[in-house]
Amino acid sequence: MSMMNKIMDKDSKYILELYIDGETFISKRAIKSIEKICKNELNNNVKLTIIDIKKNPEFLMKENIIAVPALVRLNPLPKRQIIGDLQDYQRILRGLDIG
């Protein structure tokens, strides 16, 4: 598995995966945004994996990825997928059930 970035904590409450397509402008914006959320809102109590779909196409089927960037919340359940470059801070928090 290729990981561009990884923030780990043993008791991570949140397990997130961010799917991107190469190092595009949109990808970079999405990464920047989710890292900010992890730090500011989740106190780094999160396991975040960033996955490039071209390098790891097998993950496309597993998480039913169609559009990218896509942020998948694996934990807590239920699974949730947020599509886009993650610029609407409030919407992301709502989508992740934070706050």
Partner 1 sequence: MKNMEKLSTGIKGFDDLLHGGLPKSKTTYIMGAAGTGKTMLATQFLYESALLKVPGILVSFDESKEDIIGNFQSIYMNLNEMIENKLLSLTHIFFDENTIAESNNFTLEGLKLRLEILIDDIGATCVVLDSFQTLFDRFSQSINYRAELSNLIHWLKEKKVTTVLTGGLEDNNGLGVESYLVDCVVVLDQRVKGQLSTRRVRVVKYRGSSHEINEYPYSITSKGILLSPLSSLDLSHKVLRSRVSTGIPSLDTLFGGEGFYEGSSILVSGEAGAGKSSLSAHFIRNICSNNQKAIIFLFEESEDQIKRNMLSIGIDLQVFVDKGLLKIFALRPTQKGLEEHLLNMIEKIDSFKPNAVVIDPITSFWSNDVDFAIKALVTQIIDHCKMKHITGMYMHLMHGMDNITEKSTLISSLIDTWLVLRNREKDYRRYRELYIVKSRGMPHSLSVHKFKMTNDGIIVESNVNDE
User: Which span (1-9, 10-18, 40-48, 85-93) binds partner 1, by CB under 8 A?
Assistant: 85-93
- Measured from the Cβ of residue 50, the count of other Cβ atoms closer than 10 Å reads 21
Q: Which of 12, 41, 74, 95 binds partner 1 (CB under 8 A)?
A: 95
Tokens of 27: 């990808």
Q: Could you say whether residue 76 binds partner 1 (CB under 8 A)? A: no
Q: Could you say whether residue 17 binds partner 1 (CB under 8 A)? A: no
CA–CA–CA angle 48, 90, 80 (5° rounding): 45
Q: Which of 3, 8, 67, 98 binds partner 1 (CB under 8 A)?
A: 67
The closest alpha carbon to 68, from 21, 34, 5, 17, belongs to 21
Q: Are 4 and 10 in contact (CB under 8 A)?
A: no
Q: Could you say whether residue 53 binds partner 1 (CB under 8 A)? A: yes
Q: Interface with partner 1 by CB under 8 A: which residues? A: 19, 21, 26, 29, 53-54, 57, 60-61, 64-70, 78-88, 91-92, 95
